[in-house]
Structure 1
């Protein structure tokens, strides 16, 4: 098999935030307090949605950011502008995290620009709705796993030579890891793998002083669902089945990533936070 499965084009994913209405709310909701001062973070899928909100908040807290994105250059450039407006440095790197070689290049470019890596946020992901398991093509199945879980392995493998004691890894899993989703069979399966990966990697790295945790968002208003990641019926009632009765915004999720990326969570590893609108899961 080649370095990465050929990209599928069955929908408009991952989608442009610039084309989405209403616009997701990415703006940090409070002043920074220097919790990531002088640090460097890589954020995959950092161009839009949750990734953009994480980049903005990390920058406000003092971090320089490597924004990794697939193909939405307009969104990535806007996120870079947002980071720089907070007085921090940013680079935007186009890469398919499903390719080990591209992940190596992401890390090399980050080191060349900033000289260090303190935080790795594995956030890039894709999903494709299908009502029937027989409708999931082999290509789609391989591609979803390649991006969502293989990409995390590749990014960690590439970053490890540059991660020292005190470094943090934060992975994006999902409420579907715990509840499942009848129209997202392959996606839910990868998110279950990410939850297990987070726990296993934590055990593997905790002795080196590297903490690994995850965030499991519920329905969040990002380009992923409106641009083809959800069926029209699901999109019409997106988030209504949560106890809060609405979808969340990216800037309601980003603080969970910040908590896990800074010393506030110094006694946590192998854990998952659940910004999901009040849904109770055994996580």
Structure 2
């Protein structure tokens, strides 16, 4: 870590949250840093509130890459991903090269990469694993593919053997399509039950189905991204919350920073309001990420 930067105006309640819990900071597995041109294109989709978004979505942290790193540091986010995700063929390699360079300059970053169902996917995934990638991200709604696409068969074999986590946006929120939902995830896990998957947004709105998969498969996790905030229009079913206590080691803090329309602390207070206790919060906000990714 560098010396502590000047605090962002949203920083004080975030720091109070984790210091009160006695944590060294926060471990956020769901953060995005993308090449500038692609970042602008992603934000334009959110600004237009088009069919893939479905509602007004003002972006709170629309700063430069350098400023956003400093914001996370001022919050006390000690480890965070960059989670590129390919939206079409022949894009993943560019995203991965850019993300590798970015990670090399920011010590808090988890080396992140992506892949897409295409003939050379296994080749470049193997190369990323050899280069030390720590986490992958794929997005079924945006990429419009199923997890068990035959072009990914060899990729999943590599990832099952390596144990490298893959953050998967498979739930049908905010707007679903024929590729979202739990079905292809379940089919994939039947074939590769040792895969380390992190289900983004706790699988919302198919929360019960993805929670059941996390209970059934040893290496399936859930991330909290945007869930339990007032903005997110999917209410987590109250009858599932006690099961989250039992799943404590497999729930990971995620935020979706910077493309969130509310202060970062809202994700944290939403978790606290579940009433699952300080030990659960400590596990979710630091210990589980550290155990999975170091």
Structure 1 length normalisation: TM-score?
A: 0.38
Structure 2 length normalisation: TM-score?
A: 0.37
